[in-house]
Chain A
Amino acid sequence: MNRRSFLSSGLAMVGGSRLLSAGTRPWPFAQSSNERTLVVLELRGGNDGLSTLVPYGDDEYYKLRKGTAWKPETLHKVDEYRGFHKDLTEVSKRFNKGEVAVFQGIGYPNPNKSHFKSREIWHTADLRGRAGNDGWLGRLCEQRFPDSTLPELSIHIGNEEPYSLQSSTHPPVIFRSPDTYRWLGDGDAEASLDATERGGKGSTLDRLRRVMTNAKSSSARILDVLQRYETPVEYPTHESSRSMRAAAALIHAGMGSRVISATFRGFDTHADQRFDHSNALGILDNALQGFLADLERSQAGRETLVLVTSEFGRRAQENGSRGTDHGKAGVALALGTPVKGGLFGEHPSLTELDNGDLAYNLDFRRLYATALEWMGADAAGILGAKYDSLPFV
């Protein structure tokens, strides 16, 4: 190994910038930031609304859900009709303080029960799915921050790019763990990795080149922030929680990320739902507990709106495998300091079903419109039509 070239470059890039800054630069807290940040957490697989916000006051619930129902005494009760799932302790606690907005019966017209299609619809806010359009958050970045060249304007913490952040002009930064998100090879080579020139063979190469440029510049900044981050808030060790800790660090640092996304898995509960779904909700609740407490520590954190969504709810009637099949209307949440809590939409009827499914009564694009307006964007321009906002911020 050529020691010289490593020292002159690799370390200078990776450790060196930190070395210079650790003692002299202030802790990465933005001095004052009135800029707002939108965080979107996706529950992948189709979260069962009836097990999230349980209509325990409805006898019909216990008829539909013989093997998967939750008894009233296990729930965190909201009122005489509803209660949060037993493992949504933090969500319930914050709801009682008026800090959580719950969207009941959320969905869209002509629901599609394919994970993939419905996910595309939620991610693009376009009922045709990915009809060549960028994602709704990608379009937010394009419209609201047209001149931004900051790669980390939008960030996904995870392994896979969500459609929601797709943008032809403002592609997101994606990383799984800050420790591995950096070039570890020869530092001289690093300088040669990317090109400013565009116009290689076809546009694919142009896009790949741009990804490289963004990766190089953002990785140095993100590593710097995350390695220096300290917080008194204790997060669980689960990967989802570590992602949320990273999100909090980036927000506090005021590095200009306006949209952050992360994914929670394990919600496609076709069988043995009680155990699996509790587990998945518990992981979410724990991660939120740390994240929300952490956010409260800075102005930028207090200017952060957190949405929790899923591609669909599940069938009203359970399926005989102590699970539930794909359904239609579901539940979404909004959390964070800006939120004025409460229940929005109607709890979907358990008797007047849409072909066996819960019928939606609240279009998810109203939730999006509200969040977009809160972000200072022209929601109708992004969503293609005007949707009435909801008074939760």
Chain B
Amino acid sequence: MKLYSLLVWGLVAPLQPTGEPLVGSTAVEASSLVQETRIPWTAETVEHLFNRAGFGARPKEIERALRMAPEEVVENLLKGGRFVEPPYYEQGSMQDYDLPEGVSRQEQRRAKAIRSKNDRAQLKLYTEWWIDRMVEGDDPLRDRMTLFWHGLFATAHSTVKRSYDMIEQHRKLRKGALGNYGELLNGIVKDPAMILYLDNDKNKKSAPNENLARELMELFSLGEGQYTEQDIKEVARALTGEFRDKLGNYRFSKKDHDGGTKVILGERGKFKAREVVGILLRQTACSRYIAGRLLIYFEGVKPDELRLTEYAGFLARSKYELKPFLNKLLLDPRFYREEALAARVASPVDYFVGSTRRLDLDLDSQFLYLAAADLGQELFDPPSVKGWDEGEAWIHTGSLLGRGNTMGLMLGTIHLEDTFLPLGEEVDPLAERGPARKPEPRGSREASMEDDMQDSMEDSMGDSMGETMEDGDSMQSTSEAMATRTKIPKEFAELVRALGKSYRPSLNLSHRLNRAKIATDLQVVEVMLDSLLAITPPADTHQRVLTYFTGERVAAGLTEDAFLSQPEVAEDILRRLAHLILSLPEAQLL
């Protein structure tokens, strides 16, 4: 975002008569933290900070930050904002309480289904609360770091099946998100959800289970290849007896714990979980691994060896305290270097929550949850203990089109009923054809395949046409296409339900532009591109978007100078313009 569009989008007064970016305020120059290079403090770099340390910025937040020094902004991020109480949740939602004697199997199954439904509902409520926190931006860096830890200490509800455990773990991560990594690691080793997820509730002296031990070293602390298979076996022994009780509390079972001597990474002793964590924290590999994960997560670029060593050393010296580390990183001019700006592919949560904030949309958080989940980032259900593969792995042909389609639902520019059967009339014409044909003997079938298939195709078109004709009145000459409409795919149906049947986006783009006296096609396109993208798009993209916009305006019969004179027409075009821009490859970079 540039200052120019900030003036329009945020509808603020100019900060400087020239409109030039502010480089190095007095406070910046006075700072001892920034010596050789100053942080270029512009709308663009402020937006970068908010994209990485939070979930994007609302226009007014950029304007506010520009009036402060970088140190002050980062200090506020580290200090955090208001605390919002999570919704009430309870332990017993999925408790394995015993049903009375003689209850039939059917009733047991029913009881289990009800418990499981309640359990999901409880987690859903909590997830929505978390997404609301991201959208509201009460404490953006804390929520950014919570998401980081959720990906690093990945635990999936689909395996754990206990919302209470998942919520407790999340609260632990969120509370400690900016605290001390060592404390977090100690917490996660004894975390009931993690114990269930990685089978440590079955890790006994008599029969060790290595699942937690392996991932503790490979994914949570040291990184692959920094230990031996023997180390894993020894750590598994040290973790024996670390259980979870039936209700979801941590429980240490002395009789299942192997109290013997272990040799772990060269150290020898009768270690338990806490000592194991101590050993891990003393490894150089540990500070390197965590510093590396943080650097790449925040910068989107792999750090060079010198930088990694510097940050890993800093992390170890500050005893894994996270605030000094983040303070150093976010005030490091290199964090704002050209290479790191908009170099990170937005995760689905970044993309949907960030767009909601940039557009100032008011959306049901259930929608944002489902949207991100469909595109590969389901909160509380990462695909594996390795968490999510970040970066370019988010984008492939299916997910890129999917992001655009979901954005269209958010902006109200996609009308699924024009392509699919409306919700509630989920009659699949293809399914109305009667039972599938039984296979015929090979050979005979093949010879007649083509005619046969063609016939059946024509049959089916005929059959289903009558059904859908009645609601196809406004679509003359497309009734044949209507005949092949299928029901709304499940993913979309869920999204539409989450939006609500009478959803209208809380947007007034035409008003925003009108108030700012934006008049020419070029101005409209530049303001829209600049406010919705984190990068300055290449010239050809700029040109294509401009051509699209002019084409739509002309098709609507509006002249350039009177574009905003018919807000209802202009608004529709502007929303479709926003949809196009947010669906571009450029919009995937933050």
Contacts and interface: CB of A to CB of B under 8 A. Distances in A.
Interface of A: 1-7, 10-11, 14-16, 18-19, 22-23, 26-27, 29, 112-117, 151, 159-161, 171-177, 179-186, 188-189, 191-195, 197, 199-202, 204-205, 207-209, 211-212, 214-216, 218-219, 227-228, 230, 232-234, 270-271, 293, 296-298, 319-321, 323, 325-326, 355
A215 B229 contact: no
Interface in B471-506: 474-475, 478, 480-482, 484-486, 489, 491-492
A211 B585 contact: yes
A159 B398 contact: yes
A145 B198 CA distance: 43
A205 B585 contact: yes
A212 B585 contact: yes
B523 interface: no
Contacts of B202: 270-271, 319-321, 323
Contacts of A230: 453, 456-457
A74 to B, nearest CB: 23
Contacts of B389: 160
A5 B580 CA distance: 14
A189 B211 contact: no
B436 interface: yes
B142 interface: no
Contact of A176 (B398, B555, B556, B589): B398
Interface string B385-405: 010010011011111111011
B109 interface: no
28 contacts: A1-B572, A5-B555, A15-B478, A15-B485, A19-B484, A23-B458, A114-B218, A117-B225, A151-B397, A159-B376, A173-B398, A181-B398, A185-B405, A186-B579, A189-B579, A189-B580, A200-B537, A200-B538, A202-B339, A204-B589, A208-B588, A215-B397, A215-B401, A232-B445, A271-B209, A320-B208, A321-B207, A326-B210
Contacts, number: 255
Nearest to B580: A189
A1 B458 CA distance: 32
A131 to B, nearest CB: 13
Contact of B576 (A161, A185, A270): A185
B438 interface: yes
Given A183-B401, A218-B397, A6 B418 contact: yes
Contacts of B405: 180, 183-185
A6 B199 CA distance: 53
B206 to A, nearest CB: 6
B contact patch SS: helix
Contacts of A271: 199, 202, 209
Contact of B555 (A4, A18, A184): A4
Interface in B538-574: 538, 540-541, 544-545, 547-548, 551-552, 555-556, 572-573
B551 A15 contact: no
Q: Which of A177, A188, A189, A296 has the largest count of B CB atoms less than 10 A from its CB?
A: A189
A38 B1 CA distance: 47
A114 to B, nearest CB: 6
A117 B386 CA distance: 11
B439 to A, nearest CB: 4
A190 B229 CA distance: 52
Given A22-B457, A215-B401, A188 B481 contact: no
A161 B399 CA distance: 10
Nearest to A180: B489
Contacts of B18: none
Given A177-B489, A215-B401, A320-B202, A326 B214 contact: yes
B342 interface: yes
Given A212-B585, A325-B211, A15 B400 contact: no
Contacts of A4: 555
B439 A233 contact: yes
A91 B584 CA distance: 45
Nearest to A26: B450
Interface in B421-454: 436-440, 442, 445-446, 449-450, 453-454
Contacts of A23: 457-458, 461
Contacts of B486: 179, 227
B415 A7 contact: no
Contacts of A22: 457, 461, 480, 484
Contacts of A195: 538, 540-541, 544
Contact of A27 (B457, B541, B579): B457
A1 B573 CA distance: 9
Contacts of A215: 397-398, 400-401
A270 B209 contact: yes
Given A113-B229, A188-B552, A321-B207, A202 B489 contact: no
A189 B439 contact: no
A118 B143 CA distance: 33
Contacts of B457: 22-23, 27, 228, 230
A179 B489 contact: yes
Given A114-B214, A185-B579, A192-B580, A209 B585 contact: yes
A162 to B, nearest CB: 10
Contact of A192 (B208, B229, B414, B548): B548
